[in-house]
Structure 1
Amino acid sequence: MKIEDIKHPELKNHINMIYMHGENQNQKAIEKTEDEIRQYIRDKYFIISTEDSKPVKIPYANDGEYLVPVFTDEAEYINGMQYFSLNVMDENKDYIIEKLDYFKKLKEDPNFLGYIVNIARVSYIINTSLL
């Protein structure tokens, strides 16, 4: 599979719906959309940023907690790498195209908070309950 083949407009739509439901304080609709996201990501492939064959970890807060960036298409990956570059975080970064359960051991790590989708836009965190 090639990077240009990865496209996730449906996931982006789900993310937008989550924000809209949040603004409307519609918890039931948020839960329904989260279920749709859970179903959607189960069999889909994403661009996952790696370093030395391990997922890139973005520190979150000060307790050792972290997020792993994933990208929904080639343009978002390019934007993400520019973001890394601006924050001096881009050395030795690469990518793989895999399902989000590829790094299964991440779920066992209590410091793993989930995947951040399209980090340059900080659009959404896929938390571990959705994996």
Structure 2
Amino acid sequence: MKIEEIKHPELKNHINMIYMHEENQNQSAIDKTESEIGEYIKDKEFIISIEDSKPVKIPYANDGQYLVPIFTDEAEYLTGMDYFSLNDMAENKEYAIEKLENYKKLKEDPNFLGYIVNIARVSYIIRTTLL
């Protein structure tokens, strides 16, 4: 699959719905939508920034925890790379198009908090409980 073929408008819609449900403090709707996200991501391919054939890790806090950025389309990937122009990730121009299940070992790492979607714009975290 080519980078320009990756598109995930449904995931973006789910994420927008979660933000709306949070504003309305509707936890049951949030839970339902997160469950739908978990089902959606199972068989979909995403753009994943890589370095030395491994996903790039974004440090979270100071205790070794991290997130892995994923991107839902080419525009978000390019924007995300611009977003990181002031740190080490700016030098990273490699990416992979893969299913998240290909990185099962990440879920076993207690420091892995999940995938952050479209970090420069949406900044939604797919927690490991949804994987």
TM range (shorter): over 0.9
Q: By how many angstroms is 1:87 displaced?
A: 3.4
Q: By how many angstroms is 1:121 displaced?
A: 1.5
Contact 2:49/2:92, CA 8 A, preserved across alignment: no
What per-residue deviation string (whole Å, max 9, x for no partner) do you get for residues 2-53 of structure 1? 0000000000000000000001000000000011001100110000010010
Letter in structure 2 aligned against 1:114: G
Q: What is the 5 A alignment of 1:1-131? A: 1-131=1-131
- 1:86 match: secondary structure: coil
Aligned-partner Cα distance in 2 for 1:93–1:70: 14
Aligned-partner Cα distance in 2 for 1:22–1:76: 24
TM-score, scaled to structure 1: 0.96
Structure 2 unmatched ranges of 5 or more: none
Letter in structure 2 aligned against 1:120: A
Aligned-partner Cα distance in 1 for 2:38–2:12: 13
Aligned-partner Cα distance in 2 for 1:86–1:80: 12
Aligned-partner Cα distance in 2 for 1:92–1:32: 36
Q: By how many angstroms is 1:123 displaced?
A: 2.5
- 1:110 match: secondary structure: coil
Quick one: percent identity of the two aligned structures? 82
Letter in structure 2 aligned against 1:90: A
The runs of at least 4 aligned residues of structure 1 exceeding 6 Å deviation read none
77-86 or 7-16, which moves further after superposition?
77-86
TM-score, scaled to structure 2: 0.96
Contact 1:52/1:92, CA 8 A, preserved across alignment: no
Q: By how many angstroms is 1:122 displaced?
A: 4.2
Q: CA RMSD in A?
A: 1.0
Structure 1 unmatched ranges of 5 or more: none
